[in-house]
Amino acid sequence: MGDDKGHAILEAQSVEECLIEQRWGDYTPQDHATWQTLYNRQVGALKGHVCDEYLDGLRRLHLGPDTVPDYEKLNRHLRAATGWEVLPVPGLIASKPFFTMLSNRQFPAGTFIRKPEQLDYLEEPDIFHDVFGHIPLLSHPDYASYMQEYGKAGLKALDHKGIKFLARLNWYTIEFGLIRNNGEVRAYGAGIMSSFGETKYLINDPSSNWLQFDVDRVLRTGYYIDDLQATYFTIDSFEALFKECIERPFLPLYEKFRAMPTLSPFELYPEDRILRRGTGEYWREFPKTKTKLK
Ligand SMILES: [Fe+2]
């Protein structure tokens, strides 16, 4: 899903103006081979480190490695599961139609797939990120409700200067969230699912902090869009995430937090519940400035 990095690409303000056709028949054998390569590589890398709800979603939606997914077929399974559907769009879209779609249980997804030479890094989300990353969990009832509420919150935030804070919530849950699963910490965020580099880093590199999720902390914590995460936040369940967010009135928080300093993804604070204290090793090697902090 898009964060705020390219929402201005399209000026369209209505959902209808954003929609395109997928034209599944136009994918080339190379496109299907790219999907297969990415799919198999990620399923292998994530083994034992991805939450059960995600794997259940892959199975339930019949999302397999063989071909680029056909949205018409995918939607039959997705609608039956939770009433969500995928709508094809040209790329990142403006905030208003984006949040409108989510609030109606419609997920805007790109149709293009990266080129073989772009397997490891892509500026804009492609169909592998959007579908492999985001769609399986939309078959889970609590995650599906959370995503819809996120869309509704987005529409309200547009009128209350709250987008910056909601983008952080998106970043630290939907894109890079961790979840407790049978006593272990596993991944569920789409930015992890669709990235070989982030997956390897999360699993093998001790640099990052893993903290217990806290709504206020997340809304106040900045992030970098172009590097691996210094801190990840762990939820107890999708039900708990949904409840914690729905019970917190966001509008007064936006006003309150605007007057407070942005928290750093590199720092630990006294109230943090630390599940894993990172070594910070990676950041000593690749120091970041605060200039591009979102
Ligand atoms: Fe995404």
CB burial of residue 23 (10 Å; 0-12, 13-18, 19+):
exposed
When computed from its CA atoms, the radius of gyration of the chain, rounded to whole angstroms, is 18
Overall average pLDDT of the 271-275 stretch: 97
Q: If you measure from the C-alpha of residue 101 to the centroid of ligand 1, how many angstroms do you get, rounded to a whole number?
A: 15
Is 179 strand, coil or helix?
A: strand
Higher pLDDT, 92 or 139: 139
Ligand 1 midpoint to CA 102 (Å):
13
**CA triplet 9, 175, 103: central angle to 5 degrees?**
65
Task: Examine the pLDDT at 99 and tell me if it is beyond 60.
Answer: yes
Give the DSSP letter of residue 24.
Answer: G
How many whole angstroms from 104 Cα to the centroid of ligand 1? 18
Q: Is residue 289 predicted with pLDDT exceeding 70?
A: no
pTM of the model: 0.94
CA torsion 265→7→67→74, rounded to 10°?
100
Cα-to-centroid distance, 120 and ligand 1 (Å): 15
Going by DSSP bridges, is the β-strand pair 209-212/274-276 parallel, antiparallel, or unpaired?
Answer: antiparallel
DSSP state of 210: E
CA 67 / ligand 1 centre spacing (Å): 21
Let me know: does 53 contact 137? Beta carbons within 8 Å.
Answer: yes
pLDDT-based confidence at residue 122 (cuts at 50, 70, 90) = confident
CA of 270 to the centre of ligand 1 (A): 31
Report the residue count for the chain: 294
pLDDT band (50, 70, 90) for residue 2? very low
pLDDT for 278: 97
For ligand 1, the distance from its centroid to the CA atom of residue 291, given in whole angstroms, is: 23
At 10 the pLDDT is 57
Q: 3-class DSSP state for residue 219?
A: helix
CA 125 / ligand 1 centre spacing (Å): 7
* Half-sphere exposure of residue 231: CA atoms within 13 angstroms, side-chain side: 24
Distance 78 CA to ligand 1 centre (A): 18
- What is residue 276's predicted lDDT score, i.e. its pLDDT? 97
Cα(258)–Cα(211) distance, integer angstroms: 23
Q: How far is the CA of 134 from the centre of ligand 1 (A)?
A: 7
Q: Report the separation in Å between the CA atom of 107 and the middle of ligand 1, taken as the mean of its atom positions.
A: 11
Ligand 1 center to residue 176 CA distance, Å?
Answer: 9
Contacts of 155 (CB under 8 A, 6+ apart): 96, 99, 100, 103
Ligand 1 centroid distance, CA of 29 (Å)? 25
Percent of the chain with pLDDT over 70: 95
